Structure 1
């Protein structure tokens, strides 16, 4: 496959030969997994509408609550064997030849999940999925497919994390979304990687007429190097997409995040909002692209960044492309340090400087995201509380 040598247009080039695609089969949840999963919003002890838990290359849990109707959840291999028609969705929302990471993911595919909301079903409880790396030097490459049939609604929370034994690892997750007519998907991804984890997710979404796709992304722990740039195709009249990203970049993390929204049909609209705090020597790149291709389309990009250390950096790279005279595209960006006036005001109330900084940062990153479950909002706030003491040290 020629794409194995094709570098991605963004981000550092990762030497994947340093990682192994071989893993020992596992059949039990490690002792540290429940706490690690909780850090990414996944409660293994509570079976809500459904839960999927993958440990390295092994599917440990794939369960639906008995009371839930209109929802399917199973390992992707089982789904491909059960449904011949699913093959027409496999690698349709993005190309397997996109770059070396998509090609490697296909040749080293290691499970992944299939989630489907049946027509006109409203799945009120979040579906939970956790991808857990527990082996040193492992390359994990799941392929996930989510389908929301016509008129359905589904809320999915996916957490990706590593165990204490996986000091160095790589994650190449492939995820495809298919949002049918008048369907709605709220997808929340929270990452909690290790300081030597290389992450290259690849995502594509196709949204049909009247469909809504909302993607929430949260990263608040150090990572060695992450780069992702999902693309959403709004190919139906009135289709909508929104990306919300909350990033706390610390230590020497390299974070290259972006997304592309293509407004292909009349009345479609898209929005992308980034909130970033950078400390330590971290480097953050926020890329956003909206392409207006049809009449009465609207798109907006927004990046708000706060730099707490002189050795950290944030680069905002917005791109608006109008290919039709009746498209309305806009962007705004603001990057800077803490507002001195706000800091002095809080300190004037008798609050120490480090606590004053913490209050401002937590307010800036408040996870008021649409569809975000309360347990996940609480976990994010807990994580922000834990890093309070490091805010003035830049670690």
Structure 2
């Protein structure tokens, strides 16, 4: 297995926590880190989200009001230094400014020299705070921290420099918006909103646009590809051209080979995309194919976690995002669907959403699904086949 940390890129409600539980069973040989970047995205002094912008008390109570993108990368590096390979699953829009806003590098990830106009906040240098914002006694910025007063990297849709992104081995997990969007909406309305603390549905948090833009950027710079996992050499995927029998994404020859966190150079990382519905249809074959692609040893017992130790560990890991992971916490393993998946018409989906969420909710869900379907269908073309 590559010693680069594996980073599973996904969007909300993609069955990603159940997927993650598969690898949490391998604690003897694998260190799983659950959704670390949401701490900085929602609560910290470099936050990109406006969800808690006007609720400083909630940010402080979260325990993550001091979390910057640097403190999270520092944590990952510390855990990598312990020797076990790292497995991270996270929502990629936590690294991308919302609503298609242009990205610039997070202040804590810039190499800023000490001197005039710089100050240190909890060991992290900030030029005049973040975007010139005042800092209160708790180190929490009073003004909106984004946009940052920092330089962008050409083409990079994230707030993380390419040099740092290149330290990870990326794979992707997606799900049809017809299922993920209503699942997310349910977490933001009564009665579940009282548990999650998310009291409104924000379409910008759907996450598909960010998955696609990050995916395309990684293909362009060679962090993934050119080969597509399980597709073989004769696959015709739009945007991928064949040269001398090998796929090259947009004509990029070869993969980026930067050194990883606690790791070494790695070239030719496959494009590895898992569709959640394919996973639920055939979990054993999909997990085995995924493991083969990313370099993890596959064993059938990965699909079963019906024991007290696994359940205790999962409850501890998922505690900070209460209400979002109930199904995964209560699950006993990853088994095939008990019934064949039936194809629904758009009218049937609309009727189902109206029954569950009323006319207004159904309308919001429909608009969000339609907006994100093109990005999902684009990513679906690269999904593994078993």
Scaled by the length of structure 1, what TM-score is found? 0.27
Where relative contact order (Cα < 8 A, 6+ residues apart) is larger, the structure is 2
Scaled by the length of structure 2, what TM-score is found? 0.28
Decide which structure has greater strand share.
Answer: 1
